[in-house]
Amino acid sequence: MQREQKSNSYIVGAVLIMGYLYYRATFQQDFYALPNIIANLLQSQPLSGLFATFTFRYGEQVVSMGALGYFGFLGFFGSKIWMFLSYFILAYLWYGGLSGKIRDKVTPIVVALLLSISYAAADEFHQSLVSPAFAMKEDVILASAGAILAIIAGWFFLTVRKGRK
């Protein structure tokens, strides 16, 4: 019975994360602006010399300190790390919830991956319909990488480690 409750908690957590991701994509946000508190803490702009050496394209956008400024550059990476972690947590919760309900070892992996990656694609499609936000295939790839890594971590922590005890 306790395993069933734990499994249900994982699934409820996954649905809450999906709701958060939908809510976040719905409203206009300045993705590359850091809160004033962080900006005040980093007034000296540490590592700006190192960051100035990086220039790359993400989709059709040039990402560099020259193009975005110091705080825009950090904000870009912060938003991408946050997205990666959000889909990592989403996939981990789906895997944890489904592995408690389905005895087969492969089915929870496949279903959790399909749910997480398809939600990432649906979220980007949703962003294309919402005027202030923009959709990028690179974001789906980044979210998918987070989901795949979460499934590997979930398999290790929920299956392999449990077998060692």
Where do the domains of the chain lie? 2-164
pLDDT tens per residue across all 165 residues of the chain = 677 788 899 999 999 999 999 888 877 665 555 666 677 778 888 888 888 898 999 988 889 988 888 888 888 888 899 999 999 999 999 999 999 888 888 999 999 999 999 999 999 998 888 866 678 899 999 999 999 999 999 888 877 666 555
In contact, 71 and 39? CB cutoff 8 Å: yes
Taking only the tens place, the pLDDT of each residue in 30-49 is 555 566 667 777 888 888 88
pTM, two decimal places: 0.87
Q: How far is CA 72 from CA 15, 20, 25, 37, 39, in A?
A: 31, 23, 19, 15, 11
Residue 13, Cβ neighbours under 10 Å: how many?
17
Write out the two tokens for 74.
């950090």
